[in-house]
A and B are shown apart, each in its own frame.
Chain A
Amino acid sequence: MNRIDSLFQNKNQDILSIYFPAGYPNLNDTVPNLELLQKAGVDMVEIGIPFSDPLADGSAIQAAAKKSLDNGMKLRLLFEQLKSVRKTVSMPLILMGYWNTIYCYGLENFLKDCQTVGIDGLIVPDLPLEEFELHYKSEFEKYGIYNILLACPETEENRLQKLISATQGFLYLVSSSATTGGSLKVNEKQQSYFDRIKQIETPSLIGFGINNKESFKYTCEYANGAIVGTAFIKALKNNKAEGFISELR
C-alpha cells in the first residue's frame, strides 16, 4: 500500500507535513533533515526540487531554492542522496517540483528513480490536471507514484469536485489566494472557503501561510492536517528546526 494511504488510514487528525528544499541549507543536509523530522514526530515530508523560476512560491522559498542550486543541487544528485533513505526513514515522502525540471530529466526515468528510492507521491503545481490525465497518468500508475493536486479559494465547486475525484493520496488545499510564505488571515471569504472544505471527505491537508501553533491548530479543524514550508525553512536557516517542530504541536 502507498505510504500516504497508510498514513491517512491510521491518522485522520492533526497530520503535520513539512516542506523543505533538497540540498538546503547545505548540499548534504537532505537526508539528515529527513531523519531529524522523523525523530521529531512529523508525519510526512515534501522535499522540494529546486527550480530557478518557482512561480507558485514566494520569495523565501525562491531564495532557499537558489541557495540549494548554488550549493550544487541537481535532480540526479537528489536521487543519489535518497538512495538509502528508506533504511532510516519510514514516513511518506513526496517530491514537489516544477514540470520543466521533471520533463528535462525525462518523466519515465524520473518516475523509475522515484520508485527505486521510495518516493510515494509528487506535487507538480504547474502540471494541469487535464494534461496529466491525457498524457501521463498511466506512467505514474505504472510506477505507483501518486499525483497530488491543489485546490484554492478561487476554485469553483464543479472544478473542486473534479479535483477531489482525480487527486491521489490527498488533496492539497491552498489556504488563500497567495504564493507560499504569507501568513494566514481569516476574513469572511476565507472562512466560507474553510467551511466549504470542511465538508470534503477525501483526505486533505491545508498549506500556504501556516507558520505557528495557532495557525496549525486552526487549519487542522478544517482538514486532516496542515503543511508547513516557509516557516520551517526559516527555522532551518537559524538552526532551530527541532525546537520549531515541538512548538508547532
Chain B
Amino acid sequence: MNYQIDNKGFYGEFGGAYIPELLRKNIDELENAYLDILESEDFKSEYARLLDNYVGRPTPLTFATNLSAKYQTQIYLKREDLNHTGAHKINNTIGQILLAKHLGKKRIIAETGAGQHGVATATVCALFGLECVVHMGALDVERQAPNVARMQMLGATVIPATSGNQTLKDATNEAIRDWIANPHSFYLIGSVVGPHPYPDMVSRLQSIISEEIKEQLVKEQDKQNPDCVIACVGGGSNAAGAFYHFLDEKEVDLIAVEAAGKGIDTSETAATITIGTTGFIHGSKTLLMQDDDGQIIEPYSISAGLDYPGVGPIHAHLAKTGRVKYISATDEDALKAAKVLALNEGIIPALESAHALAALDKIQFKKDEVIVVIVSGRGDKDMETYMNNL
C-alpha cells in the first residue's frame, strides 16, 4: 500500500486541487517549484540551521516516569510544546517562508483559528522582513485576544473574517479570497489541508517530528520504532508529521485522536473522520462534515485548533486504508487528560494535545510496550479555559 501522494496530487481518491481558475497560475507555480526547492542543498541547510538555533530543535523525547507507572507501560512524550512560539506550527512556517523567499514573494497571507499558526507565521515574517496578513474569524479574534496581541506586536496585520460563522473555516475562505485578489502574495497554509501541493508540502515540513523520534528512540531503547504513536488531529499537521516516517513500518500502531466535542452523537462535535462524508473543501477532496445538501456544517470543540469541518486528505486516505486508527476524545476527556499530565509530569499541554493524551485511557497497553504521545503545543494559551473548567 502506498501512503504518499501520487504524481497527480492524490492520496488514493483524496486530495487534488479543486480550485477556481483564478488560482491556477499560483498553484502551478508552487507545484512546479516546491519539490526542487525542498530538496535543494541550500534549502535543507538553511531549514536545518533555523530549526536548530531559532526554533530550538531537536525537541526532547521525554520519558514520562509517573505516567508510565500509572498506565503500566513505557510512555514517551514528544515535546513540540518546547518549540519557539509554543507548538509544532513553526516547523511548517519556517519551511514555507524559505520557499516564499525562493519564489521572490514579498507579502504573506495566512489563516488562523486559535492564533497559533498566525503567531508562527507572524514570527517568521518578522524574521525575514516580509509583510504579513493574517485572517482570523471575528469570533476567534475576540476569544483569543492574547494571540492577536502577539501577532500585532510581531508586525502582522490581523483581519477579522466576518463572513459565515466567523471561525477557522471562514478565515480560510477569506485567506483564499485575499490570494485571489493579490495573486503575487504567498499563501502560507497552517495545516495539511488545501489544494495540492499544500498537503504534501506541509507533511514533509512536519515530518521532522517522526525523523527525530526515530533517532531519539535508538538512544533510549536501542530501536528506531516504538510500538505505538499517538497524535491529535484537527486539520492534521502534527499527526501527519508524527506518522510520516512510520507509515511503512507495519509494526508501529498509529493512533489519531479527533475532537468529539460534546460527543460524536451530538451536533456539537469536530470528529470529521468519525462522522464525515466525502466532499470538497478549501480545494481538496477529503472527508468533511456536511449536511445532505452538501452544505458545510460548523464544527465544535473546546479546542480552537481542532475546530475544523474538514481534515487533510492524507488522513482521509490513512483512515480509508486502515493504516491509522482514528478515535475521538470529548472536551471532558481532554480536560481530564490535561490535568493528569500537569499533576503527574509537570507539563501543561495545549488543549489540542490533551486530546492525544486522552487516548491513554482508551487503549489497553502491554507492560513493556513503547508508546510515543505527541505533545503538539503548550497550554499557556488555554489557561482561561482550564481555569473555568477544572
Contact = CB atoms under 8 A, between A and B. Distances in A.
B290 A100 contact: yes
Nearest to B165: A52
Contacts of B60: none
A105 B294 contact: yes
A227 interface: no
A154 B20 CA distance: 12
B181 interface: yes
A235 interface: no
A74 B293 contact: yes
Contacts of A66: 164
Given A103-B280, A104-B279, A128 B17 contact: yes
B169 interface: yes
Interface in B19-78: 19-22, 24-26
Interface string B94-118: 0000000000000000000000000
B263 interface: no
A103 B295 CA distance: 11
Interface stretch (A16-24, A56-64, A241-249): A56-64
Contacts of A156: 25
Given A53-B281, A150-B20, A156-B25, A101 B294 contact: yes
A103 B286 CA distance: 12
B3 interface: no
A52 B20 contact: no
B18 A127 contact: yes
Contact of B21 (A52, A53, A75, A163): A163
A126 B292 contact: no
B176 interface: yes
Of listed B20, B163, B280, residue having the most chain A CB within 10 A: B20
Contacts of B163: 59, 62-63
Interface residues of B, number: 33
Contacts of A154: 22, 24-26, 183
Nearest to A105: B294
Interface in B284-342: 290, 292-296
B295 A101 contact: yes
A interface bracket (residues with beta carbon within 8 Å of B):
35 or more
A55 interface: yes
Nearest to A99: B280
B16 interface: yes
Interface string B166-189: 000100010011001111000000
Contacts of A177: 22, 180-183
A155 B180 CA distance: 12
B292 to A, nearest CB: 7
A152 B22 contact: yes
A248 B280 CA distance: 37
A151 B21 contact: yes
B12 interface: no
A31 interface: no
A81 to B, nearest CB: 15
Contact of B177 (A58, A74, A100, A155): A58
A179 B181 CA distance: 7
Nearest to A51: B295
A99 B279 CA distance: 9
A101 B18 CA distance: 13
Interface string A154-173: 11100100010000000000
A174 B24 CA distance: 13
A188 interface: no
Contacts of B294: 51, 75, 100-105
A62 B176 CA distance: 14
B283 interface: yes
Interface of B: 16-22, 24-26, 162-164, 169, 173, 176-177, 180-183, 278-283, 290, 292-296
Given A98-B280, A101-B295, A178-B180, 14 more contacts: A52-B164, A53-B169, A55-B20, A55-B177, A55-B180, A59-B162, A99-B18, A103-B278, A103-B280, A125-B21, A126-B19, A128-B24, A155-B21, A174-B21
